[in-house]
Amino acid sequence: DTGVSQDPRHKITKRGQNVTFRCDPISEHNRLYWYRQTLGQGPEFLTYFQNEAQLEKSRLLSDRFSAERPKGSFSTLEIQRTEQGDSAMYLCASSLNSDLWGYTFGSGTRLTVV
Amino acid sequence: GESVGLHLPTLSVQEGDNSIINCAYSNSASDYFIWYKQESGKGPQFIIDIRSNMDKRQGQRVTVLLNKTVKHLSLQIAATQPGDSAVYFCAETPYGQNFVFGPGTRLSVLP
């Protein structure tokens, strides 16, 4: 296992379309996090899972956003009816319980809404 | 809301000089801090961390200083190299779950 994997690396979509991103965490990590990062800013927390349970969602996670982790392994983040303001880098991170030292980020999915 | 911020958005240093990147945080409940390095097109990469019961921690060419009295964090990079060019973020967590990041400082190493 070489780290947190995210797919696709880049996605261009037309406004109004739905998009889905995938994150594969480090295999032994039971916690998985989603962040959004806009240009020139630091990552902003969206949501996190412990195993398959979604334990926290930030105010940034509007009704158009949904995240799942059905088997407690990989996770998907879906954005419905995309808007230009959704253009950002979507980062996934994973950790083993609350082991913050092992908190590892993936390389992200760059979304561009045109 | 409570947030983490940086004093300088950009920093240019000569190769071989030392770099100091500063960060202010506002959540007094934060007990763990990390400095991340992010290169273009990549996710944040862990550099060094520090817990609130410490005021200094050293790694390989990097040192983090924590001043809880004024809620200030700094990252010192010794003998800055071209490979150190990147955006640096400090991040805090008060609850041991998600991190709160500042806006970042771009470090540019001049030849």
B56 pLDDT above the threshold of 50: yes
On whether any CB of chain B is under 8 Å from the CB of A90, the answer is no
Query: Which pLDDT band holds residue A49 (cuts at 50, 70, 90)?
Result: very high
| Domain with B27 in it | 10-110
Quick one: average pLDDT of B9-22? 94
On whether any CB of chain A is under 8 Å from the CB of B37, the answer is no
CATH code of the domain covering residue B90: 2.60.40.10
Report the Cα B34 to chain-centroid distance in Å. 7
Please report whether residue B2 resides in a domain. Answer: no
Please report whether residue B60 resides in a domain. Answer: yes
* B47-76: burial string, b at 16+ Cβ within 10 Å, e else: bbbbeeeeeeeeeeebbbbbeeeebebbbb
Please report whether residue B5 resides in a domain. Answer: no
Please report whether residue B93 resides in a domain. Answer: yes
Q: How far is CA B40 from CA A67, B19, B37, in A?
A: 26, 20, 10
Please report whether residue B16 resides in a domain. Answer: yes
Q: What is the tens place of the pLDDT at every residue in A58-83?
A: 998 999 999 999 998 999 999 999 99
- The percentage of residues in chain A with a pLDDT greater than 70, rounded to a whole number, is 99
| Chain A residues inside the 8 Å CB shell of B59 | none
A106: amino acid identity, one letter: G
Please report whether residue B1 resides in a domain. Answer: no
By the 8 A CB rule, do B109 and B10 touch? Answer: no
B2 pLDDT above the threshold of 60: no
**What domain count does chain B have?**
1
